[in-house]
Structure 1
């Protein structure tokens, strides 16, 4: 009886192995045939990632920069995916005449700062990158050290690990050594530090001119031209 059972087990194993081999051969033949006709390449290559830009606004002074960037992106064909820190909402109310509802309406998609399960918390959600403007020193410190306590810093960390462009616009002065070291650390792991320095060669006439120049130069870093920058074309000839 035991011999019969052993023989049956061996026979079943051989049959299973034979079926597996046939399945592998069939898949290989289909792949080879598809490659010859070009079908395999068509199925494997996906369309480029949607043109999405993650925008973070923190509670640092200068929230108008973030608002202006959202205004520039609206209707541009670029999806803006917005995260506002709680402090940002306070600063918006204090520094501008915009309501939080108005600011959120400028974005394509808005995420709660505590929503760690949001789409932008995953690297599989493809984007052009992320910009945080203004960027507070607290947020900078979290990014520089890899500490991700909110969706804002998590999305920035994801941007870096996926080797996408992360632009931080710190709005703080003066800076102590800790701030400078955090900027260095953030740069070393792939971020771009872009302080909102005005381009006086453009001869700005108003606060709007100053804001537009900074926002336009930030968008330049993503290869986007919103027509906000008065560009230097060389020194006028005498």
Structure 2
């Protein structure tokens, strides 16, 4: 009998909110953890990624997968890029979708569409599948200030079991770089997914061995 545990399977949707470094670092960590990652990138996200990083994503899912893997410098795991209108992708069906999905960063437009069940593209459909199947869904919004509409949509989704995790890094670990701020948020996402991480110590761990 095969007792080898099945690899972690995650859908990672990248939308047009600011915060592309969070998405790329999360992808790197998931692949390093030998996860099978299905990536869906919105059109706006391609623009933001090109603005916030040196990465210019090409068209075509295979070329985009190669570019993403090269950008994060990770050869582990399995990376599959799905087109925004690729309705035959596994993530579009409850019988094939991974057990967890992360939208990082999550634009407020995408958040609104998920809250209303719009399903007008593969990102929205994949999130709808996660909701209807009762699977882990994590949204990482990056917007300020938040309007009442944004807050109402977040509350609606939170009541449905969605994890709302704003990209709001802490400072108690005394970050010395932007990369450490990014890692703070990514570490919290990995914790939610049950993926072991060493990006940053949890609260109290750094001082666990210290005494007066």
Q: Is the 8 A contact 2:90 2:97 kept in 1?
A: no
What TM-score do you get using the length of structure 2 for normalisation? 0.85
Structure 2 counterparts to residues 92-107 of structure 1, below 5 A = 92-100=49-57, 101=64, 102-103=67-68
**SS of 1:178 mapped into structure 2:** helix
Q: Is the 8 A contact 1:57 1:132 kept in 2?
A: yes
1:197 aligns with 2:154: no
Give the aligned partner of residue 21 of structure 1. none
Deviation at 1:211, TM superposition (A): 0.2
Q: Is the 8 A contact 2:33 2:195 kept in 1?
A: no
**SS of 2:172 mapped into structure 1:** helix
Q: Is the 8 A contact 2:21 2:182 kept in 1?
A: yes
Give the aligned partner of residue 82 of structure 2. 111
What TM-score do you get using the length of structure 1 for normalisation? 0.76
Deviation at 1:126, TM superposition (A): 4.5
Q: Distance in 2 between matches of 1:138 and 1:75?
A: 30
Give ranges in structure 2 of 5+ residues lacking alignment: 58-63, 73-77
Q: Distance in 2 between matches of 1:184 and 1:117?
A: 31
Deviation at 1:97, TM superposition (A): 0.8
Q: Is the 8 A contact 2:17 2:48 kept in 1?
A: yes
Give the aligned partner of residue 63 of structure 1. 20
Give the aligned partner of residue 75 of structure 2. none
Query: What does the per-residue CA deviation read over 1:170-209, in whole Å, with 9 as the maximum and x for residues that have no partner?
Result: 0000001000000001111221100112121111110000
**SS of 1:221 mapped into structure 2:** helix
- Structure 2 vs 1, CA of residues 104 and 147 (structure 1 numbering), >3 Å: closer, same or farther? farther
Q: Distance in 2 between matches of 1:165 and 1:76?
A: 18
1:221 aligns with 2:192: yes
Q: Is the 8 A contact 1:63 1:92 kept in 2?
A: yes
**SS of 1:124 mapped into structure 2:** coil
Residue from 107, 121, 124 that aligns with 2:92: 121
Q: Is the 8 A contact 1:213 1:230 kept in 2?
A: no
Which of 1 and 2 has greater Rg?
1
CA RMSD of aligned residues (A): 2.1
Larger helix percent? 1
Q: Distance in 2 between matches of 1:77 and 1:128?
A: 15
Q: Distance in 1 between matches of 2:5 and 2:128?
A: 22
- What is the number of residues matched between the two proteins? 194
Structure 2 counterparts to residues 51-90 of structure 1, below 5 A = 51-90=8-47
Give ranges in structure 1 of 5+ residues lacking alignment: 1-41
Residue from 140, 145, 148 that aligns with 2:116: 145
Query: What does the per-residue CA deviation read over 1:139-177, in whole Å, with 9 as the maximum and x for residues that have no partner?
Result: 000111111111001001101111110000000000010
Deviation at 1:48, TM superposition (A): 6.9
Q: Distance in 2 between matches of 1:75 and 1:219?
A: 12
Give the aligned partner of residue 60 of structure 2. none
